[in-house]
Amino acid sequence: MENQNKKETIRVVLVDDQTMIRQGLGYVIKMQKDMEVSGEASNGEEAVKIVGEIIPDVVLMDVQMPNMSGIDATREITRLHPSIKVLILTTFDTYDYIVDGIRAGAVGYMLKDSDSQEMLDLIRRAHQGEALFYTATAAKALADALQFQQKNYESASHSDSDADFDSALPPLVMFDQLTARERDVLEQLSHGKRNDQIAQHLLISGGTVKTHIHRILQKMGVEDRTQAVAKAIRYKIVK
């Protein structure tokens, strides 16, 4: 019974070339009962190596670092370990950083001067599979990145050389299994909405939103919200 009630510990790796930043983030994280700092890295190359050894749940990734940038490190980590959630850590709310991070596979981003409670909330929600892009800059970056992905897919789908790629894609019948309400929730997910925002918009409870999302992921055969949105965009199920 005790093991059943014990909360899962979220294992976090901190990546930043500034020691004081890592120490500050680490101090806050270590104070949480459901989190631990499993490793640290001061550049992208170290990050890829350490993450490969530790296989954490979440990575807080700085952008500008020596040897290998945070964007390149994110791309390599998500390629090698798709289940690991990477949150981009930036100093500025910069469009290019955000859209590059999305394309590299990051599930969200946070500013270095964010409130500590907001940071902890982002880590927990990333671990649960949420995409975390809140500001207007991030919303535009997410929309543009998904549009870019859709255009690439459309181009590839009309190429004879990519016939095998098309045949390997799951049939559209998976979307026919979605209820009208599940499609509504999926549409809201594609706009980067949080669970509470979806609940408010659709006039349903937060628990109902979670249930719909769980069923959406099962029916679409994906692991998290980001994958669900990417697949829905790819098949033009949402705009």
Whether residue 108 has pLDDT greater than 50:
yes
Amino acid at 88: I
Helix or strand or coil: residue 180?
A: helix
Give the predicted TM-score (pTM) of the model.
0.61
Per-chain mean pLDDT for the chain: 79
**3-state secondary structure string, 115-166?**
CHHHHHHHHHHHHCCCCECCCHHHHHHHHHHHHHHHHHHHHHHCCHHHHHHH
Express each pLDDT in 151-197 by its tens digit: 554 555 554 444 333 333 333 435 667 888 988 998 888 888 888 99
Mapping DSSP to helix (H, G, I), strand (E, B) and coil, where does residue 12 land? strand
Q: What is the pLDDT of residues 182-193, one digit of tens each?
A: 889 988 888 888
Contact 91, 111 (CB under 8 A): yes
Q: How far is CA 118 from the centre of its chain?
A: 16
